[in-house]
Amino acid sequence: MECSALYCIRIGYIVTPHFSHRGELLMTHTSIEKKSAIVTGASRGIGRAVARRLARDGFAVVVNYAGNATKAEEVVAEIESAGGQAIAVQADVANAADVERLFKETIETFGGVNVVVNCAGIMPLSPLAGGDLELFDKVIATNLRGTFLVLAQAARQVSTGGRIIAFSSSVIAKAFPTYGPYIASKAGVEGLVRVLANELHGRDITVNAVAPGPVATELFLTGKTEAQIEQLRKQPPLERLGQPEDISNVVSFLAGPDGSWVNGQILRANGGFA
């Protein structure tokens, strides 16, 4: 595994048997180094699938959550029982001190940060005519301020060759009624991603966003009737809701070697929804 010595932890050795020219059995010890990934909002939904997938891809994973410690510890236990490495760290992405601590704990535990995936997000819906400023402020704080704070730390801490991945939404293209605060927050996320990709000129770090269509998680399902879910299920030509793994596959691509030439892009993974 390719890795900067400064930013990797050593997790063990591969022992390779081979024979000398005299036919003696020799063992070569090659050290393996593990990259680390922070996944915010990894206790549930898409973030949970991303944490599991990146662990499977070989990353040591920081499972961030806001309030659901039990769920986050479940993800850690699952990763560990599959032979991976993970820790759970509570942090509200809208809180600057929390986000700073999230990165500090990651560096103290795993020696550095190679990949940051900001999945944390909320989607309460409300029509503009309702003028619900409290709801608007909450959505902007979590989705936009949260992304700003996580990207700012990532810009400082992610090592050379690293990846930064934010979350937008394909619903931007639909402009559905009641999605105003959410769409406003995600439009801001797309702007931040493009700017940061340019600001990291020469650092060999890619910055992208994934913009899913409807995915069957609590965020999407909560507050919707069966009829509304069915109507949205049929919208993409592929006629199904996305599953968290449809999205973690895309994150794995962006975070892995095959995604190295994709930079400053919004990858719309949505079954053709928009």
Ligand X SMILES: NC(=O)c1ccc[n+]([C@@H]2O[C@H](COP(=O)([O-])OP(=O)(O)OC[C@H]3O[C@@H](n4cnc5c(N)ncnc54)[C@H](OP(=O)(O)O)[C@@H]3O)[C@@H](O)[C@H]2O)c1
Binding site for ligand X (CB under 6 A): 40-47, 64-68, 71, 92-94, 119-123, 142, 146, 167, 169, 212, 214-215, 217-220
Closer to ligand X by Cβ: residue 8 or 211: 211
Least Cβ distance, residue 147 to ligand X (angstroms): 9
Q: Examine the residue annotation and report whether 65 is marked as an active-site residue of this protein.
A: no
CB of 70 to ligand X, least distance (A): 9
Least Cα distance to 79 among 55, 58, 57, 45 occurs for 55
Spatial distance between the Cα atoms of 187 and 182, rounded to a whole number of angstroms: 9
CB 64 within 8 A of CB 41: yes
Residues facing 144 on adjacent strands: none
Q: Tell me how far apart the alpha carbons of residues 98 and 134 are, in angstroms, rounded to a whole number.
A: 22
Query: What would you measure as the largest C-alpha separation in the chain, in angstroms?
Result: 84
Closest separation between CB of residue 233 and ligand X, Å?
A: 11
* CB nearer ligand X, residue 122 or residue 197: 122
Identity of the residue, 146 or 161, whose beta carbon is nearer to ligand X in the bound complex: 146
- Inter-residue contact 78 to 111 (CB < 8 Å): no
Residue 174 and residue 195: Cα distance in Å, rounded?
A: 24
- Are 72 and 41 in contact, with CB atoms under 8 Å apart? no
8 versus 38: smaller Cβ distance to ligand X: 38
- Residue 118 has a CB neighbour count (10 Å cut-off) of 28
Inter-residue contact 238 to 272 (CB < 8 Å): yes
Query: Least separation, in Å, of the C-beta of 13 and ligand X?
Result: 35
Q: Which residues are catalytic?
A: 182
